[in-house]
Amino acid sequence: MSFKRSILRALALAAIMTGVVACGRSKANSGEERQASIVLETNEIWMGSFPAGSGRHTVVFPFRNAGDADLELLDADTSCWCVSTDFPRKPIKPGRKGEITVTVDVSDKKPGTFNHHVYFVETGSPSHTALTIKGEITEK
């Protein structure tokens, strides 16, 4: 085999091997950043009707981490003093599920409809999530 043919064969083999190695890289090695992704079953819940002064009423928003990195719920803010939340403080692993509990206190509320929001800051995409609770307060 000639010298020229050997060089061409070596270059072709090197090109093929470079392609195989490049195709076999994982996301972590290719420079792409892993990311969490929150997926809610719903972001709005109708809580129903409650008599005025009837106290606290709670709903649950199930979610899962559809990303490939841990999901952390970092902070929550509510649109009303009458709304409180409880959410996982530990990271949610990829593929795992969690729950966000939202409670509204209608003890001091007058009859009428309500439409309150809970805003979350989390790692991943999206980085902000809004939940809505709606309901009606009736006469005692």
- The answer to whether 137 touches 114, Cβ cutoff 8 Å, is yes
* pLDDT at residue 134 tops 80: yes
Reported confidence tier of residue 52, pLDDT bands at 50, 70, 90? very high
User: What are the start-end ranges of the H helices in the chain?
Assistant: 3-23
Q: What is the pTM of this model?
A: 0.74
- The answer to whether 35 touches 71, Cβ cutoff 8 Å, is no
Reported confidence tier of residue 53, pLDDT bands at 50, 70, 90? very high
- Rounded Cα distance between 108 and 82, Å, is 9
- How confident is the model over 106-133, as a mean pLDDT? 94
* pLDDT at residue 27 tops 60: no
- Rounded Cα distance between 109 and 9, Å, is 82
Reported confidence tier of residue 19, pLDDT bands at 50, 70, 90? very low
Mean residue pLDDT of the chain comes to 84
